[in-house]
Amino acid sequence: MLNHIRYSSRYLVNKLSSNNNNKKKIQFIHTLNSIEADLISLQQLTSIYKENPQLQNSVEKVANLIVNAPSVKVTGIGKSGYVGQRMSATFASIGIGSQFIHGTEWYHGDLGSIRENDLIFGITHSGGTFELLELAPLVKERGGIFCSMVGIEDSPLTKLSDEHILAPITNEILDKIPSRSIISQEVLINALASNIVELKGFVKSDFLYNHPGGSIGKQK
């Protein structure tokens, strides 16, 4: 009886161990599949921009507008809003007078911050975010410039924007979770930053001057 119990215990341990290994293998496969899907999205984005010089020109036009604007205000809702916060922080570090304003705050007093020729940059994958659709004409009423980044070319916000940047994607996680759309947005924000650096003649020493703290600041 004791031997039978010992055998059964070893069998259960081995089976559980085998199941755990299988779970790890499945998780490993999910991880690789997700990374591969991200890379495919980037490859497709690159192909779309290579095949359409007009899309490249849009990035360059927006970069020029940003450089020449008295100030830049980035806005968005939800996950696009978090992307906007990173965008604004990056722009500030390369010498652009930039701040992030949440998409709902405009209607609670922040419209008063807009001055003539200020550039407001709205980020939305759908291009149909209500708060941004309402904001665009209000910006223009105050003499500002409204630009946007959207995931769908023929979206309502593109029609209201002075210039727009297309950030298309193929598939989100579960077809719903903002994931690869965020990667597309981030990549194109980096493209904007690269253009701005070139237009301004911004060099490494300028960046270090703006970033004296942390490990980056120690690189002087």
d(CA 217, CA 108): 38
Cβ neighbours of residue 137 closer than 8 Å, sequence gap 6 or more: 160
CB 109 within 8 A of CB 138: no
**CB-based burial label for 213 (10 Å; 0-12, 13-18, 19+):** exposed
Taking only the tens place, the pLDDT of each residue in 102-126 is: 999 999 999 999 999 999 999 999 9
Taking only the tens place, the pLDDT of each residue in 83-103 is: 999 999 999 999 999 999 999
Question: ∠178-179-183 over CA atoms, to 5°?
Answer: 120
Q: How confident is the model at residue 1 (pLDDT cuts 50, 70, 90)?
A: very low
Taking only the tens place, the pLDDT of each residue in 8-67 is: 434 434 544 455 666 665 666 778 888 999 999 999 999 999 999 999 999 999 999 999
CB 128 within 8 A of CB 103: no
pLDDT at 172: 87
